[in-house]
Amino acid sequence: EPEVTQTPSHQVTQMGQEVILRCVPISNHLYFYWYRQILGQKVEFLVSFYNNEISEKSEIFDDQFSVERPDGSNFTLKIRSTKLEDSAMYFCAGLGRQEDYGYTFGSGTRLTVV
């Protein structure tokens, strides 16, 4: 069964450093998303990406965040200057044409900002 692959599985970074989280979506998916989950809290929407541009973003997704899909396969989330409160699990997800199936989520990247 096709999977969404995320790397790294765990990243520790110092406050103020830039991080890039990477995702390889399923090849026939059209819509791509980043969600995050702070420990013990809800899964929260960050951004959606379709046709090589951002289609929607949440209030969380401020100008410290950016996404791109530079080579048509990898989908990345960059945090320019990390803060302690950015520590969370970050999930990449994809959606094909059939919305009935819901998203396919990756296993996540645990980001720890120290």
Residue 105, number of CB atoms within 10 A of its CB: 16
For residue 45, state whether it binds other proteins (rule: CB under 8 A).
Answer: yes
Contact (CB, 8 A) for 78 and 19: yes
> Residue 74 corresponds to which tokens in the numbers above?
């990898």
Cα 76 from Cα 101, distance rounded (Å): 23
- Closest approach, Cβ 56 to other proteins, in A, equals 5
For residue 27, state whether it binds other proteins (rule: CB under 8 A).
Answer: no
For residue 91, state whether it binds other proteins (rule: CB under 8 A).
Answer: yes
Among 11, 20, 44, 69, indicate the residue that binds other proteins (CB under 8 A). Answer: 44
For residue 105, state whether it binds other proteins (rule: CB under 8 A).
Answer: yes
Binding range to other proteins, per CB under 8 A, among 12-20, 37-45, 66-74, 79-87: 37-45
| Strand 10-13 to 109-113 pairing | parallel
> Residue 49 corresponds to which tokens in the numbers above?
């990406």
Amino acid at 52: N
Give the footprint of other proteins on this chain (CB under 8 A).
Answer: 4, 31, 33, 41-45, 48, 50, 55-56, 58, 89, 91, 93, 95, 99-108, 110
